[in-house]
Amino acid sequence: MARNAPEGTGPMHVPFGHIVANTKWRGSKLLQGMQGKIKIVFEDGLTPVDFYVSSRSCILYVTEADLVAGNGYRKRLVQVRNSSNLQGIVIVEKTQMSEQYFSAIQKFTVLDLGMVLLPVTSQMEASCLIIQLVQEQTKEPSKNPFLSKKRTLMPELSLLRTVQQIPGVGKVKAPLLLQKFPSIQQLSNASIRELEPVVGQAVAQHIHAFFTQPR
């Protein structure tokens, strides 16, 4: 059974193939989409974390309402980012209403904090994504989540999804970029000249502008 993490930002024991969910999500469309596909354990006091998918990997979920309301979500992200015990993934509802605010959270999450951000259009889409992340965990050769540390498949999948969201990149060019620049830090430091052989001049300029323009 899962145990509360100290102050919500420490490691938590997550049964293999399960997800530990903050009780505030009980009855939501997000959880309804997961029922019957993965096993869900509810816990109180997970704030700022919304879900744990493994002992050291957690999800922070930013809703459309959170984005429209302002920058209140930033405190939660910073709390998890400052915890050396956790790898946080940020899932954000990118809808017609919240799209104008998406660029700000994308840059804050990816560039300022160095965290992975995955956009979704709805809670049902988020359900499918979270199920996929949990299933990636179950492919680990070791069933002890404390042994997987950062060499899990999930960060690779999440990093790929993040790079796909950079303007002009998409699903085809993202894997090519990661072969050449295997981290966000390396990609953000790449010059247009270094990027051009991989994605062409136009996309190289888009990428360079994304990482260098004021935010």
pTM surpassing 0.75?
Answer: no
* Residue 186 or residue 30, greater confidence: 30
Structural contact between residues 159 and 186, judged by C-beta atoms closer than 8 angstroms:
no
**Model pLDDT, residue 82:** 86
Residue 3: the pLDDT is: 44
- Tens of pLDDT, residues 50-93: 999 888 788 999 999 999 998 999 999 998 888 867 788 899 99
* CATH assignment, 18-141: 3.40.50.10130
User: Would you state the pLDDT for residue 168?
Assistant: 83
% of the chain exceeding 70 in pLDDT: 83
Q: Which of 17-21, 74-78, 153-157 has the lowest mean pLDDT?
A: 153-157
Domain 156-210 in CATH 1.10.3720.10? The answer is: no
Q: Residue 34 pLDDT more than 70? A: yes
The contacts found for 22-28 with CB under 8 angstroms, 24 or more apart, are: 22/46, 22/47, 22/49, 22/50, 22/51, 24/50, 25/50, 25/51, 25/61, 28/123
What's the confidence (pLDDT) of residue 163?
A: 82
Alpha-helical runs (H) found in 72-152: 73-81, 99-107, 123-138, 145-148
Quick one: pLDDT band at residue 162, thresholds 50, 70, 90?
confident
What is the domain partition of the chain in residue ranges? 18-141, 156-210
